[in-house]
Amino acid sequence: MLAKKNSIQVAILLVAFVFVAAGCTPAGPRALLKGKKYLDHGEYAEAAAQFKTATELLATNAAAWNYYGVALQGAGHPDEAAAAYQAALKFDRDLVEAHFNLGNLALEQGRPDAARAEFTAYTLRRSNDAAGWLKLGSTQLKLGEITAAERSFSAVLSLKQNEAEAYNGLGLARVQRSLPRDAAKFFAAAVAARADYPAAILNLATVNQQYLHDNKAALENYHAYLSLKPRPVNWDEVNAVAAGLEATETKITVVAPVAEKTPPAAVAEPKVTPKISNVVTQRSVAVMKSSPTPKILVSNSPPLKSVPMQVVEVKSEPLIIYTPRRASATTSPLPSAATAKAAPVTPPAVETPVEDETPKKSFWGKLFSGSPKSDAAANSKYLGTGLTPLPGNAEANAEPATKPAVMPAAKPLEVTVPVPVFARYNFFSPRKPPAGDRTAATGAFTKARLFEQDEKWPDALQWYQQSAALDPAWFEAQYNTGVLAHRLHNYNTALPRYEMALAVQPDSMDARYNFALALKAAGYAPDAAEQLRKIVAANPNEVRAHLALANICAQSLRDTPQARQHYLKVLELEPNNPQASDIRFWLSANGK
């Protein structure tokens, strides 16, 4: 199960073999050999016992510690495994495979930020290893860093042309950029590279059904997925979707379809992109822009249960000892009628998109974005104030605090929808802090800006935090700390920092708006709505705040009267708002 051995391990085993041949194997190498045998058979507890002996007798041997970490992790002792990997790096900084193993461990523990740092350290030293880039791209995709993930997956394909998982990852990235046709080409390329790759087959079917509305192609790919051996774990669910789609196809008539009245509550929550103060360079702000999560478009047929999009299927393969290698993917045609008749799949050119590329919006996605006109009006108030205005689409880019591994299946509309119960945020309500050492804080702030320009977000966050600690009364330091933590989905840090920023400048609409978005993303929708009400109370003509509040009322709180009130206010303030027609559609579908 383990990956190929490194030269250090080979040397150790050769030395052990020499001792065995001489009939005088020392206890340390002997324990290492026994542990390796147990590890090869998946007997992690027994292997850990042997490697523990080996590390006691060979205390400075980095490879022994790395082996020990592998066994401990396999035996279900993650904290001890992390300590063993750290010991391996302590004794040999060049054993970067320990970074790879630490990254895998962090992913298992649900800590993608830490995993990204470890995989980055690995790829810096093993830039020619496709497996490292694949892991890094998968982690970046989990963190919503679409551009960075595409770069990593492109690096994989430059090293290993037929890597199905890299094509699948690029497909998922293009879905998040609202480019479903490009996504379908990448998923098809993944299937062509590996015909029995379940994630890519299911993703191709999902894109055809939900985004391209090609039910025939979707059915063919659903059937290809259902024919896989052994059966996928969600076979029954996918089979039900395919059966429903077939039944729908047989009932199609030439009668003009009637648009469904789909409440905004069904709209997928998009990602957050809070703006940072203008002390951050324009380049870094552009990098922070992200595309909203694509919406499952409303169909003209009866609502069908859909299949969730699969994540990049970079499996938790066994931890590596040195230079991981993967078997070459087998190229064969997609096992479906569509591909059997079609020409060979040619994947689209892999390009790194322009970072400030404006994503195409779906029908409902347009409803929940800001207005360029209102943006310009609001921006004029902040010229020369040292602040950057709120982003026009910031609320449209908010995402839930708990991000599932796969997109949840859309369920048919029900007559009775239970009112959700929300947790409430425990406000710290800090007082305005005293001024600190601004000179020292400025030095830390400058370092944070440099790290942010290099897209090293965790390092930037660390220095912003230090800057805010050195001068708690510096608004920009508190605010930017909140923004970076918000961007990294670290709401335990972001929310208190936004409160501190508001304690310094209570009238900052930027801080309060982003605080509301963070509250919503963290699952505190009622508290988010309250912050937005404070904004519209102080700024009755703030269109974006009315729109954000209407979205929360419609999507999360299911308070249709309040949603109507604020959507109507948006139309009153801006009759020609780019989303005006969509708002009117929602209003007509949700009468008084």
CATH at 149? 1.25.40.10
DSSP state of 294: P
Q: What pLDDT score does 542 carry?
A: 92
Q: Are 296 and 531 contacting, i.e. CB atoms less than 8 angstroms apart?
A: no
DSSP state of 461: H
Query: What distance in Å separates the CA atoms of residue 82 and residue 229, rounded to the nearest whole number?
Result: 36
Q: What pLDDT score does 401 carry?
A: 35
Are residue 350 and residue 471 in the same domain, yes or no?
Answer: no
Please say which residue of 69, 95, 121 terminates a domain: 95
Maximum Cα–Cα distance across the chain: 91
Query: What distance in Å separates the CA atoms of residue 115 and residue 471, rounded to the nearest whole number?
Result: 31
Query: What distance in Å separates the CA atoms of residue 468 and residue 437, rounded to the nearest whole number?
Result: 10
Query: What distance in Å separates the CA atoms of residue 465 and residue 558, rounded to the nearest whole number?
Result: 37
Return the structure tokens found at 231: 């059966």
* Residue 557 located in a structural domain: yes
The amino acid occupying position 14 is L
pLDDT in tens, 123-165: 888 889 999 999 999 999 999 999 999 999 999 998 888 899 9
Please say which residue of 95, 113, 137 terminates a domain: 95
Return the structure tokens found at 151: 């770069």
* Residue 334 located in a structural domain: yes
SS3 for 98? helix
Are residue 166 and residue 247 in the same domain, yes or no?
Answer: yes
Sign of CA dihedral 436, 440, 446, 452: negative
Phi and psi based region of residue 117 (left: phi greater than 0; alpha: psi -120 to 50; beta: remaining): alpha
The amino acid occupying position 195 is A
Write out the E strands in 18-175.
none
Range of the domain at 76: 1-95
Query: What distance in Å separates the CA atoms of residue 96 and residue 132, rounded to the nearest whole number?
Result: 11
Query: What distance in Å separates the CA atoms of residue 174 and residue 212, rounded to the nearest whole number?
Result: 14
DSSP state of 402: S
Are residue 327 and residue 370 in the same domain, yes or no?
Answer: no
Query: What distance in Å separates the CA atoms of residue 575 and residue 581, rounded to the nearest whole number?
Result: 9
Q: Are 257 and 300 contacting, i.e. CB atoms less than 8 angstroms apart?
A: yes
Are residue 343 and residue 376 in the same domain, yes or no?
Answer: no
Are residue 373 and residue 346 in the same domain, yes or no?
Answer: no
Q: What pLDDT score does 512 carry?
A: 95
The amino acid occupying position 324 is P
Going from the C-alpha of 450 to that of each of 443, 463, 480, 481, the distances in angstroms are 11, 10, 13, 14
Query: What distance in Å separates the CA atoms of residue 175 and residue 169, rounded to the nearest whole number?
Result: 10
Q: Is the peptide bond before 230 cis (omega within 30 degrees of 0)?
A: yes
Q: Are 572 and 423 contacting, i.e. CB atoms less than 8 angstroms apart?
A: no
SS3 for 552? helix
* Residue 154 located in a structural domain: yes
Return the structure tokens found at 474: 């510096």
Going from the C-alpha of 332 to that of each of 98, 195, 496, 544, the distances in angstroms are 35, 6, 53, 51
* Residue 369 located in a structural domain: yes
Q: Are 324 and 132 contacting, i.e. CB atoms less than 8 angstroms apart?
A: yes
Going from the C-alpha of 197 to that of each of 189, 190, 208, the distances in angstroms are 11, 8, 17
Residues in the chain, how many? 592
- Quick check: pTM over 0.75? no
SS3 for 386? coil
DSSP state of 454: T
Query: What distance in Å separates the CA atoms of residue 469 and residue 477, rounded to the nearest whole number?
Result: 9
* Residue 225 located in a structural domain: yes
Task: Tell me how crowded residue 338 is: count the other CB atoms within 10 A of its CB.
Answer: 19
Q: What pLDDT score does 25 carry?
A: 56
Instruction: Pick out the chain residues at pLDDT < 70.
Output: 1-25, 249-420, 592
Are residue 18 and residue 161 in the same domain, yes or no?
Answer: no
SS3 for 489? coil
* Residue 105 located in a structural domain: no
SS3 for 458? helix
Are residue 65 and residue 168 in the same domain, yes or no?
Answer: no
Q: What pLDDT score does 93 carry?
A: 84
Are residue 471 and residue 397 in the same domain, yes or no?
Answer: yes
Going from the C-alpha of 169 to that of each of 156, 199, 316, the distances in angstroms are 11, 10, 16
Query: What distance in Å separates the CA atoms of residue 196 and residue 131, rounded to the nearest whole number?
Result: 20
* Residue 205 located in a structural domain: yes
- In total, how many domains does the chain have? 3
Please say which residue of 50, 71, 95 terminates a domain: 95
* Residue 300 located in a structural domain: no
Are residue 345 and residue 369 in the same domain, yes or no?
Answer: no
Sign of CA dihedral 60, 63, 68, 73: positive
Are residue 412 and residue 445 in the same domain, yes or no?
Answer: yes
Tell me which residue of 560, 558, 488, 475 sits closest to 518, measured CA to CA.
488
Are residue 415 and residue 552 in the same domain, yes or no?
Answer: yes
Query: 50: which residues sit within 8 A by CB, 6+ positions away?
Result: 31, 32, 34, 35, 38
DSSP for 100-162, please give it.
Answer: HHHHHHHHHTT-HHHHHHHHHHHHHH-TT-HHHHHHHHHHHHHTT-HHHHHHHHHHHHHH-TT
SS3 for 499? helix
Task: Tell me how crowded residue 298 is: count the other CB atoms within 10 A of its CB.
Answer: 14
DSSP for 186-225, please give it.
Answer: HHHHHHHH-TT-HHHHHHHHHHHHHTS--HHHHHHHHHHH
Are residue 342 and residue 452 in the same domain, yes or no?
Answer: no
pLDDT in tens, 215-244: 999 999 999 999 999 999 889 889 988 888
